[in-house]
Amino acid sequence: MIVPAEQGETANTIRPRRRPIRSGARGDIDLSRELHDHISQTLNLLLLEMEIFKADQVGREGVLRELDRMQTSIRGVLANVRGILHDIRKDTATAEDLRPSLQGLATRLATSCGAVVSVSIAQDWPNDLHPAAVVDLIRILEEAAHNSAIHGAPTTIWIELSVKEQALTASVRDDGRGMVGGLTSPGLGIRGMHERARLLGGTLRITSELGKGTQTIVEIPRPEPVPATLPFPVAQAETA
């Protein structure tokens, strides 16, 4: 939409007119939509464009260091925006939501591609993950599983969540034909998975071999245990 020129603008300036944000619950919905559509998405796109640009800067260590620094700052802002989004939307996703979400994913994939989809979640998987982390983890697994179904033509897909001493591991593997070409030239989906893993403070790696399937593994830090609090102060023993 073309709007009247303001001071300092030319008559040909075109600026998008955003709908006004209402008050109350509807205002919260409007605000969360604005944050997601205009800020979060823009920051994600900027990170992806910077990754593509970095591929052309091999050997320019100073430039690469500065790009890394800028990306770290952007990820910090994006993490804060996501936290605000979850607070506004009052998301209550917990580790208990992982199982039904992944079982639903398994059912959809089995119907669409005909593969057998297995979901395994460790019994000691923590139930105190932040809601934003749960959502990001689900999105990573969804993207990886869809990639397996679409590109691998597998007969079986395994989705597994396990617990290590200092880390949580989630993986998607299949027995399909592999997608080596997709790893050398990753698309937005794979780049997006890497970004989500970084926002969780973790790492993501993908291995694939022609004729032997593909495996995607994301590893994130295990939450620090919440110390138990005593219902009353403990009196210190008196010394003679």
More confident residue, 120 or 29: 120
What pLDDT, in 10s, does the model give residues 167-220?
A: 999 999 999 998 766 565 667 788 888 988 988 999 999 999 888 899 999 999
In three-state secondary structure terms, 93 is coil
% of the chain surpassing 90 pLDDT: 23
Q: Which two tokens stand for residue 199?
A: 């926002």
Rounded Cα gap, residues 60 and 192, in angstroms: 25
Tens of pLDDT, residue by residue over 37-70, are: 567 667 777 887 888 888 888 888 988 889 888 8
Report pLDDT for 57.
Answer: 86
CA nearest 193: which of 36, 51, 98? 51
Q: What is the mean pLDDT of the chain?
A: 75
Could you give the CA distance from residue 110 to residue 146 in angstroms, rounded to a whole number?
11
pLDDT score at 199: 86
Domain residue spans of the chain: 24-89, 95-221
Average pLDDT of the residues in 22-28? 45
Query: How confident is the model at residue 86, as a pLDDT?
Result: 62
Query: In this structure, what token pair is assigned to residue 131?
Result: 């809601």
Tell me the C-alpha distance between 14 and 206, whole Å.
Answer: 43
Whether 145 and 193 have beta carbons less than 8 Å apart is answered as no
CATH of 95-221, one of 3.30.565.10, 3.40.50.1240, 3.30.70.120, 3.30.200.20: 3.30.565.10
Backbone angles phi, psi at 162, to 5 degrees: -130, 165
Question: Looking at residue 173, what is its pLDDT?
Answer: 96
Greater model confidence, 71 or 17 = 71
Buried b (16+ CB within 10 A) or exposed e, 103-113: eebbeebeeeb
CB-CB contact of 113 with 152 (8 Å): no
Q: What is the DSSP letter of 185?
A: S
Q: Phi and psi for 227 in degrees, rounded to 5?
A: -65, 140
Q: How confident is the model at residue 163 (pLDDT cuts 50, 70, 90)?
A: very high
Q: What's the one-letter identity of residue 218?
A: V
Give the tens place of pLDDT for each residue, 92-131.
Answer: 555 567 888 899 889 988 888 889 999 999 999 988 888 8
